[in-house]
Structure 1
Amino acid sequence: MAAGPLKPHVDSFVLTLRAAGRSERTATMYSEAVRWFAAEHLLTGGRPSDIDVRYDTAPDKSADMVTFEPVRDWELVARVHIRSWLVRLRRRGHKDSYLNNQFRCLQQFFKWLAEEEEIPNPMRKLKPPTVVPEPVPVFEKDATKRILEMPGTRGARGKACKVRDTAIIMLLRDTGMRRQELAGLTVDDVSVADRRALVTGKGGKRRFVKFTFETAKALDRYLRQRAKHSHAHLPHLWLAQ
């Protein structure tokens, strides 16, 4: 992802994102997408790499890919460069949802660049790849039950992990919260008595989620165990050995 002469603008873009209060995760995702596009596509003139040869899923392996003179100035980027990059990623087998994500990262960068440098935006009116929604696989009740019934590691440490993991799985089952949301919970975010947890989601948005009495009992059991942990003073809800 060595963006060479194109890197300074990427750094300025990241600085703008941070100044606007965007999360570090978002800033990293945007900057990596732009640097990847710059390093692997623009600076190489779109010429195939070993990765393209290895993962090209197109039926016609000898089909010509769009190539061009290497681009070393953002002002020279045109629609053909962006479209050929998306085609290149699709030929590698990436799904439309991934292409859509890459498109939107580049879209935000070029929108910023057009305003910052007062130059035309090559992505203006360019439509993102269509994403056909796919059913999200979920755990059936029997599968969750089998997970909860799995034996833990022997000994006190194994028992402690079992108590914690059971509370985690049951909380996920009841609320459907995201993995990152669950990992970010603090002790003060959870109320066993009220059977609810305060979750911090994307963009710092907070919401309450409810859980069952069964899960409340599992959390209560874990909190009693957690109180004996050598790092019980930490705010984080989930503690490991």
Structure 2
Amino acid sequence: MTTEQLWEQFFYNLRVQRRSQATLSFYQVTRQKLAGYLTLEGYPQEVPGLTIQHLRSFVMWLEAQGLNPGGQHAHVRAVKALFNWSCREELITVNPATRLALPPLPRLRLPTVTSSETQRLLTTAKTWDQPLRDAAIIMMLFDTGLRVSELVKLTRQDLLAAQGLLRVRGGKGEKDRTVPIGTRTLTALGAYQRRERRPRWPHVEELLLSHRGEPLTRSGVGIRLARLSVASEMPRELTAPHAFRRGFAVEFLRNGGDVFTLQQIMGHASLDMTRRYVSFLDEDLKSAHLRFSPGDRL
């Protein structure tokens, strides 16, 4: 069986599992890169002839093309996912990616928005053409940790104000969940809905709308935050939607929340994903050590 045939069946399985378009696009890029490399080098397209050496040379080729470690890591994850699945489904008898190592990633501190930076953005938003909508976006991102794709899908029916909850539909992996929301954010949403939300058509149920009264898109949120960051004289990376998601996680833990609850709120499939946010709490860990140091208590 050729790698292309494996990819076809793998993609069919992903669609059956209702994986997101972003996930399909992620694997499609690797599919094209790997196929192009195998053709370029004249390496076997049949899986029995494809070895670990071929896959390792593919990774080296990616590096030589100038791809950063994060990009290399992503392609290797996709290759391993393809062959691991194919082996489990007994489409192949030997997995050429079993010993394919993931390239090491540099331990960089990813941009994370803080409370003071969120307040600066809210102050700037007050002077803009849709101040209530923009304030609602900023507060929701910082107060709930929603992914931007989840944010723009919210409808008015998903806001359960009496219970202090948001119903998040079709999150990552098409999993639904409920997310708590604070009173200040509820107040911001209420003000936006009463005074500024003007749908272009009666059937528009999405909660957040553009200035034309149409459902706001992911790119629309990103562009708005980028402009707000410039007006607030803040680095763009600090106001990217995912920087708010990290900021929510850090503040939640800093304020006494536990990783198990955080996992449920953020919709992480595993606790390992949630634990990564502990690394953002250097000063808090230092303070805790000063209070509880075993050495100082000898």
Question: TM-score, length-normalised on structure 2?
Answer: 0.61
Matched, 1:216 2:213: no
Among 99, 117, 135, the alignment partner of 2:109 is 135
Q: Distance in 1 between matches of 2:99 and 2:136?
A: 48
Gaps of 5+ in 1: 46-68
- Could you tell me which residue of structure 1 aligns to residue 174 of structure 2? 204
Gaps of 5+ in 2: 213-298
Q: Distance in 1 between matches of 2:11 and 2:50?
A: 19
Q: Distance in 1 between matches of 2:96 and 2:83?
A: 7
Q: Secondary structure at the match of 1:198?
A: strand
Q: Distance in 1 between matches of 2:91 and 2:184?
A: 58
Q: Distance in 2 between matches of 1:79 and 1:29?
A: 22
Identity of aligned residues (%): 29
Deviations 1:19-65, CA, capped at 9 Å, x for gaps: 233333322322321222111x11101xxxxxxxxxxxxxxxxxxxx
Larger Rg over CA atoms: 1
Matched, 1:97 2:70: yes
- Could you tell me which residue of structure 2 aligns to residue 54 of structure 1? none
- Measured after TM superposition, the shift of residue 123 of structure 1 is 0.6
Maintained 8 Å contact 1:174/1:211: yes
Runs of 4+ in 1 over 6 A off after TM superposition: none
Q: Secondary structure at the match of 2:166?
A: strand
Q: Distance in 1 between matches of 2:145 and 2:63?
A: 31
Q: Which has the higher helix share?
A: 2
Q: Secondary structure at the match of 1:150?
A: helix
The number of equivalent residue pairs is: 208
Q: Secondary structure at the match of 1:197?
A: strand
- Could you tell me which residue of structure 2 aligns to residue 30 of structure 1? 27
How has the CA–CA distance of structure 1 residues 70 and 126 changed in structure 2, closer, same or farther, with 3 Å as cutoff? closer
Maintained 8 Å contact 2:56/2:100: no
Maintained 8 Å contact 2:52/2:99: no
The equivalences for 1:30-69 within 5 A come to 30-39=27-36, 41-45=37-41, 69=42
- Could you tell me which residue of structure 2 aligns to residue 51 of structure 1? none
Maintained 8 Å contact 1:10/1:35: no
The equivalences for 1:77-226 within 5 A come to 77-114=50-87, 115-150=89-124, 158=129, 161-200=130-169, 201-225=171-195
How has the CA–CA distance of structure 1 residues 145 and 232 changed in structure 2, closer, same or farther, with 3 Å as cutoff? farther
Among 192, 209, 213, the alignment partner of 1:239 is 209
How has the CA–CA distance of structure 1 residues 124 and 6 changed in structure 2, closer, same or farther, with 3 Å as cutoff? closer
**RMSD, aligned CA:** 2.6
Maintained 8 Å contact 1:7/1:35: no
- Measured after TM superposition, the shift of residue 221 of structure 1 is 0.9
- Measured after TM superposition, the shift of residue 104 of structure 1 is 1.6
Question: Which structure ranks higher in relative contact order (CA pairs < 8 Å, sequence separation ≥ 6)?
Answer: 2
Deviations 1:159-194, CA, capped at 9 Å, x for gaps: xx2211110001111122222221222211112333
Q: Secondary structure at the match of 1:43?
A: helix
Maintained 8 Å contact 1:14/1:27: yes
